[in-house]
Amino acid sequence: MATRGFTGRRSGGNESGRIPPGQHLVDNFPVLTAGPTPHVETSDWKFTLKVGPRPIKVWNWDEFNALPMTEMRRDIHCVTSWSKIDTVWEGVLVDDILADADVKHPTDFLLAHSYDGYSTNVPLADLASGKAMVALKYEGQALPRDHGGPARLFVPHLYFWKSAKWVTGLQFTQRDEPGFWELRGYHIYGDPWREQRYTND
Ligand SMILES: Nc1nc2c(c(=O)[nH]1)N[C@H]1C(S)=C(S)[C@@H](COP(=O)(O)O)O[C@H]1N2
Ligand SMILES: [Mo]
């Protein structure tokens, strides 16, 4: 961590091969939200795991924070064409959420749901095996509200619209059900390395 000043993204070399086609690096962290930014107090915050319509487990903020915490350093790629490398997040792996609820593999697909009514679909294979988390911190600090605080989904290997901000739950679904942007022309899966931006890409 102390080497941050020496490994700045302009020092060269460390970004080659890390920027997917059609993307460019940014130093800032743009905010992209479809509607108004919701106010979610940690005292009111709840996270619900559902299988279909059935709630399996609900955690409040303290219960969720008692789950194992994991750090992920990853590159992120927004469909609007910006990428950021080496972003650092901390939170609870989806694996650890499922384990705490004693849920293994009820279906192959999930929908993430958010406090602002946003949703997005992600296959279980892309949320499990250490690939995704519910992030509570960004760069060592509580997640800023405009970036989804107090908690957001973090699925760095897919376009960033899959990383639902202000997340309030995950729901297993029988089929791969399109979420907010997937219903409005974005790709059902969203792999940045295959440039899966829009429905028929
Ligand atoms: N709840 C919610 N999550 C959301 C969005 C949103 O509008 N609402 N926008 C998505 C989109 S399109 C992108 S690119 C990223 C942007 O995250 P950022 O604002 O932290 O950069 O959040 C995603 N998650
Ligand atoms: Mo986006």
Q: What are the pLDDT digits (tens) for 120-179?
A: 999 999 999 999 999 999 999 999 999 999 999 999 999 999 999 999 999 999 999 999
Instruction: Indicate whether 27 belongs to any domain.
Output: no
Q: Is residue 107 part of a domain?
A: yes
Question: For position 14, what pLDDT does the model report?
Answer: 66
State the pLDDT at residue 12.
46
The per-residue pLDDT for 4 is 44
pLDDT, residue 15, reads 78
In a domain, 35, yes or no: no
Q: Is 188 inside any structural domain?
A: yes
d(CA 117, CA 35): 9
Predicted pLDDT at 16 = 79
Q: Which residue has the tokens 């302009």?
A: 10
Give the residue whose CA is nearest to atom 15 of ligand 1: 161
Number of domains making up the chain? 1
Torsional class of 17: left (φ above 0), alpha (ψ -120 to 50), beta (otherwise): left
In angstroms, what is the span from residue 177 Cα to ligand 1's centroid?
18
Task: Decide whether any atom of ligand 1 lies within 6 Å of the 168 Cβ.
Answer: no
Which residues of the chain fall short of a pLDDT of 50?
1-13
Query: Which DSSP symbol is given to 198?
Result: B
Q: What is the CATH number of the domain that holds 102?
A: 3.90.420.10
pLDDT of residue 126: 98
Domain extent at residue 64: 43-194
- pLDDT confidence of residue 59: 99
